[in-house]
A and B are shown apart, each in its own frame.
Chain A
């Protein structure tokens, strides 16, 4: 190890040293600069933000709305979020005290973890799950406790398994459904069982619902709408995925006033507020973006069908995802590990998919493939994967 690297390590905090670099980042370093590669790796919509939403931000700029906003977010946006949550999930939130506009769900997650966790508090997370969950908990001084989920159970979090992992130190459960990376959703009866556990053990539930409008053939309930759960749920959502607004970084947290006040305290000392133009765009999205969601869902659904049936016909068994925009095919039949499969596939056929292990131990034997890319790219990728499999 070089002297510089050694010094760099010693200057970072224990908490930072405790988290590993993301497995996705490591993998994409291999991809950079590779010509003709098809990436199924990026978890974001491939559409630009719908024009009427962009127009709202341009209008805000033209009218000089470029100042800081209230720390909690503009009253207009918070009122619109309250209206949206009431309309979509029959959830009533007081926009003044129970809502906070964040810089994407990522900041919301960080704030939630920091606001509720004391050192050593345990947080239950599904395994596999989105790469940030574990890191956000660790950085807040907490201890992530992964609970395995299984393809045979549609990657749903089993309440009986959750119960086994609850200890006196457990403070919260972090749910992320529809799920990144599996596309799994949780049926209402299982959510209700988790609600009973949360009640019984006095747990907070942090519910990342960023994909909850991107579902196929089903509507997904908000965890906060489960009986008795509004008062113990920190609902995290935002406009990034369903309105194709990832770069705007506008999310929100809805929850009990006491917790939202705690999160707001951290937010005001770190971020101050989310961008004013982004908030103007988010108002337009929530007000007039329903059709955009419908169009995107229709489009993603076609791509989902092509990708899932494509993997199955290639002999890579693929669980049918009901939400988000990821397929999670198994590569176990090839005898290769996720990492080896993904690396060989990238080097030999220039198709980038993320090894399932980037999302937890249970991801071994799987790949995360995002189908938010054009149909022609998906079909070409499947063809290349087919060629690759024949050579194995």
Chain B
């Protein structure tokens, strides 16, 4: 119960400290430290992440989602090909999908040219990959549950209640 609560807090705010979590949950700091350490060790906590709205900074950055069609292989099915793909640093996210294609690969690069090169020279050349469709991302509206665009702040008015 406490473990789930700690994970929820850290998922929303990776910077929450054990002291802060103890204040929020009424738990004991030592116990919280222990739970966090265990969760880090057993891979429950994979990484502490920051959701960055890159559009706010000048860095050029191109993202694309590549639909990859694959011929499954004897014994390993899709896994071996998926592994070959996710080993590339350009592939930030790889999912096995149901539907009209098999793997969804999220690729990040500095330029469209760089992403296109990765797809044509690396991804599509892998044995068992039968086709790719590249969708360049034009605008990010929401990521990891966070809305990245616009979003007016709520203005409270004075009221008696």
Give me the interface of A with B, judged by CB distance under 8 Å: 22, 24-25, 28, 31-32, 39, 42-44, 46, 48, 130-131, 180, 246, 298, 302-303, 305-306, 309-310, 375, 379
Contact = CB atoms under 8 A, between A and B. Distances in A.
A130 B160 CA distance: 10
Given A32-B158, A44-B161, A298 B24 contact: no
Contact of B23 (A25, A43, A309): A309
Given A44-B161, A298-B8, A305 B156 contact: no
A48 B153 CA distance: 10
Interface of A is mostly: helix
A305 B23 CA distance: 6
B8 A25 contact: no
B154 interface: yes
A130 B24 CA distance: 27
B23 A42 contact: no
Interface of B: 8-9, 20, 23-26, 154, 156, 158-161
Nearest to A130: B161
Contact of A44 (B8, B25, B26, B159): B159
A186 B26 CA distance: 23
B25 A302 contact: yes
Given A24-B160, A25-B160, A131-B160, A306 B154 contact: no
B154 A42 contact: no
Given A22-B160, A44-B161, A131-B161, 9 more contacts: A24-B161, A25-B158, A32-B158, A46-B154, A180-B161, A302-B9, A305-B25, A309-B26, A379-B20
Contacts of B25: 302, 305
A42 B156 contact: yes
6 contacts: A24-B161, A42-B159, A44-B161, A48-B154, A305-B23, A375-B24
A246 B154 CA distance: 13
Contacts of A302: 9, 24-25
Contacts of A32: 158
A42 B159 CA distance: 7
A305 B20 CA distance: 10
B57 to A, nearest CB: 23
A305 B158 contact: no
Contacts of B20: 306, 375, 379
A305 B26 contact: yes
Nearest to B8: A298
